[in-house]
Structure 1
Amino acid sequence: MPSPPSLIWQAPTWPGMHYDAVRVGGELARAHRVQGIVEGKLAGLRFDQRLELAAEAWSQDAVATAAIEGERIDLAAVRSSVARRLGVGKQDGPNAPRNVEGLLDIMDDAVLQRNAPLTRERLCAWQAALFPTGYSGMVKILVGAYREHAEPMQIVSGQVGRERVRYEAPSSARVPAEMQTFLEWFNAKTEHDTLVKAALAHLWFETIHPFEEGNGRIGRVLIDLVLAHDSGEVSRLIRTSQRLLDKRRDYYEQLERAQHGELDVTEWVLWFVEQLRVSCEEASDAVDAALQKAMFWMNHQDKVLTTRQRNVVNLLFDAGPEGFEGGMSTRKYESIGGTSRATASRELIELEDMGLVRRVGAGRSTRYYLNIPGWRPEDTAVA
């Protein structure tokens, strides 16, 4: 039985696509609740601490959006580039390749220029930034322009020789008109929720598939742009691409189902908003960890530590409660700190005396954990 008209949203510029606003409403409310919690928690952090969180989230998301397309990029190079852009953290790391800098450029543009209209020229510049050499791997492609080839644009998956056509996009001849309709809708003032707009924009753009290459990455940057409209630079904390990478199979299946199924895209919108909610929950956990770290250092601000001791404590924090399997030992400290066994032993004992770490076990089984409830096993758990 079709839903009553009052419960269905239908964009007049779409070919009849619609979603059930009542079914989506509950998930939207949960997602927005977590969004608000994240923004509220951020108020407890200093500006530089918020920047550090944003830098790490942005770096991880850049690596994730490339990984969805099967491309591996160096996280260390991405981190150093992001650090330079935001003026935070370690900025002297390896340089990223031009195509990776291009990816970071368009992700940055989506946030910094969030109020600028989305145009054909802007999208074409984004796509050109992803392929600065004019090649995708060993294949020469058309960059900075919509696709023009006569053959159908097919999205395939599977191993070479066993590919499966997941979707066939509109012909190249239709792309300019289809994209013009999309851009007019995207730039217009609309009544539907921001998170729903992100879901629809991503689905619509991926359905048109206007470029020869780079559609997935650009489509995910469009999500960033919509979220930035709503949350500004706070949106950098929402690692949407990381979540889509974690759910990659479901992501492709949901897209394919929405592109091949009936005109009701409720299931896609529901699934997509759920992923945004989980991304916000993960951002909330990251803010909690940063707040805990800030409180820890505030409680120990009177302690005099060597640079090496401070770095090791921060490494323990960054690794999390389960990050250093078996805890911090003298041997690990010696290796991480680049110092002698005697110095490592002495500095760990000093950290214990100052109350920053707790010791568990004895002799060769001695391990150290941050002096935070829940960050160390019971004494009997260490053999």
Structure 2
Amino acid sequence: MWIWEQHNWPEFHWNANVIAPLLRDVHFNQGLLLGKSEYEDARQATLDSLLSSIIYSSEIEGERLNAASVRSSLANRLGITEEKPYPTTERTDGITEVALDVIENSDSDLTLERILRWHQLMFPAGYTLFNPIQGGQLREGMIEVVSGRLDKPTVHLEAPPPERVVAEVLQFIKWFNKFRTDASLDPIIRAAIAHLWFVTIHPLEDGNGRVTRFLTDLALAQAENRSIRFYAMSVSICEHRKMYYKILESTQKGSLDITT
């Protein structure tokens, strides 16, 4: 049974006694980074952080973006002059726009239209990597996350059927907006739940992992209440990719207790 098939989905719960010391460490390290930010060039630090986030988020999915093109797209949007600017593309400009929307408009409510706009910017008309992708639309078929050999794949996740996708996404969005300012839910836990919940729904034809990471970044930006990022979550996920997919698989086949 998949996690979304359980009768009490999506009522996530956790052991607060186990999570509390981990949260203290996270908040302490966030404070160190934010303290350091007072002595950094904000625009340059944001460029470096977003560049790493974008490049590694695509690397997780097996796609290597041109780092020079992404850097130039970011520099153009941030008003940074480059000595040797590199030609940008519609796609690098689009992904950059999404990354900046996350931190510059973190106070705006999440909507289905916003998610689909991100997706369209990430996958403009005519884009193809392995197969043509229709950006800006919810999926209409079943979807699985697999790895390994073609003749013996490992299924990490099977998403809900397409007829449930709209209702599932709208329920997620309602929760995401409602708990943004709810003091009863630690913002780090909110970001973690958002990550797990959206990737479980897998509502898009492709790019679900990347959109999930943008949503997680949005939750973190809302928690920090600032338009500057000094760390890139995608770098850590990419470095521990095998462990990430192992945890994803065990979570999808486990209970709604997200403690471990």
TM-score by length of 1: 0.62
Alpha carbons of structure 1 residues 137 and 31: separation in structure 2 relative to 1, 3 Å: same
Return the offset for 1:138.
Answer: 4.9
* More contact order relative to length (CA 8 Å, sep ≥ 6): 2
Q: Indicate the SS of the match to 1:157.
A: strand
1:76 to 68, 76, 81: 68
Q: Indicate the SS of the match to 1:266.
A: coil
Return the offset for 1:92.
Answer: 4.2
Task: Give the whole-Å Cα distance in 1 for the aligned partners of 2:42 and 2:228.
Answer: 12
> Does structure 2 conserve the Cα–Cα contact (< 8 Å) formed by 1:17 and 1:263?
yes
Q: Which residue of 2 aligns with 1:238?
A: 231
Alpha carbons of structure 1 residues 126 and 234: separation in structure 2 relative to 1, 3 Å: closer
Alpha carbons of structure 1 residues 147 and 226: separation in structure 2 relative to 1, 3 Å: same
1:199 to 192, 200, 211: 192
Alpha carbons of structure 1 residues 19 and 91: separation in structure 2 relative to 1, 3 Å: farther
Q: Which runs of structure 2 are paired with 1:191-230 in the superposition (5 Å)?
A: 191-230=184-223
Return the offset for 1:159.
Answer: 3.6
Cα deviations by residue, 1:13-55 (Å, 9 ceiling, x for unpaired): 843321111111101011101111211222234xxx2221221
Task: Give the whole-Å Cα distance in 2 for the aligned partners of 1:142 and 1:253.
Answer: 29
Amino acid at match of 2:22: E
What percentage of residue pairs aligned between the two structures are identical?
36
Q: Are positions 1:103 and 2:98 aligned together?
A: no
Q: Which residue of 2 aligns with 1:35?
A: 30
Q: Which residue of 1 aligns with 2:253?
A: 260
Q: Which runs of structure 2 are paired with 1:273-284 in the superposition (5 Å)?
A: none
Q: Which residue of 1 aligns with 2:105?
A: 113
Q: Which runs of structure 2 are paired with 1:352-363 in the superposition (5 Å)?
A: none
Q: Which residue of 1 aligns with 2:5?
A: none
> Does structure 1 conserve the Cα–Cα contact (< 8 Å) formed by 2:125 and 2:134?
no
Q: Which runs of structure 2 are paired with 1:1-383 in the superposition (5 Å)?
A: 14-45=9-40, 49-90=41-82, 92-149=84-141, 152-189=142-179, 190=182, 191-233=184-226, 235-267=228-260
Q: After TM superposition, which residue ranges in structure 1, 4 or more long, deviate above 4 angstroms? A: none
Task: Give the whole-Å Cα distance in 1 for the aligned partners of 2:83 and 2:246.
Answer: 39
Q: Indicate the SS of the match to 2:229.
A: helix
> Does structure 2 conserve the Cα–Cα contact (< 8 Å) formed by 1:80 and 1:91?
no
Q: Indicate the SS of the match to 1:43.
A: helix
Task: Give the whole-Å Cα distance in 1 for the aligned partners of 2:246 and 2:17.
Answer: 24
> Does structure 1 conserve the Cα–Cα contact (< 8 Å) formed by 2:42 and 2:228?
no
Return the offset for 1:246.
Answer: 0.8
Answer with 1 or 2: which has the greater Rg: 1
Task: Give the whole-Å Cα distance in 1 for the aligned partners of 2:50 and 2:254.
Answer: 34
> Does structure 2 conserve the Cα–Cα contact (< 8 Å) formed by 1:80 and 1:92?
no
Alpha carbons of structure 1 residues 135 and 54: separation in structure 2 relative to 1, 3 Å: closer
Q: Which residue of 1 aligns with 2:4?
A: none
Cα deviations by residue, 1:52-90 (Å, 9 ceiling, x for unpaired): 122111111111001000000111121122112112251
Return the offset for 1:229.
Answer: 0.6
Alpha carbons of structure 1 residues 84 and 166: separation in structure 2 relative to 1, 3 Å: same
Cα deviations by residue, 1:259-284 (Å, 9 ceiling, x for unpaired): 111221111xxxxxxxxxxxxxxxxx
Q: Which residue of 2 aligns with 1:8?
A: none
Task: Give the whole-Å Cα distance in 2 for the aligned partners of 1:225 and 1:92.
Answer: 31
> Does structure 2 conserve the Cα–Cα contact (< 8 Å) formed by 1:155 and 1:166?
yes
Task: Give the whole-Å Cα distance in 1 for the aligned partners of 2:95 and 2:77.
Answer: 13
Instruction: Indicate the RMSD between aligned Cα atoms, in angstroms.
Output: 1.8
> Does structure 2 conserve the Cα–Cα contact (< 8 Å) formed by 1:227 and 1:235?
no
Task: Give the whole-Å Cα distance in 1 for the aligned partners of 2:22 and 2:51.
Answer: 28
| Structure 2 runs not aligned, ≥5 long | 1-7
Cα deviations by residue, 1:92-130 (Å, 9 ceiling, x for unpaired): 421232222221111111111101111111111111111
Amino acid at match of 2:217: D
